[in-house]
Amino acid sequence: MPYVNIQITEGATREQKAQLVEEVTGSLVRVLDKKPEHIHVVIQEIKEENWGFSGRLTDDWKKNHNQSSEEN
């Protein structure tokens, strides 16, 4: 029974998440010959303040990156 855990920052639409589940399931069916009814896909949405990137919290990194982009 395959179990797939996808962790993303918040912001994906319901339609985008449905597409992820469909495509991940399709890949496991095609590549590993698994039955769709045996596949579990969990999407965890994590607040950017709880996700680190490049040595900083993602929300702080984005603020700084966006300010730098606006200055150029």
Q: Which active-site residues does the annotation give?
A: 2
Distance CA 3, CA 49 (A): 27
Q: How many CB atoms lie within 10 A of CB 35?
A: 10
Range list of β-strands (E), the chain: 3-9, 40-46, 52-53, 56-57
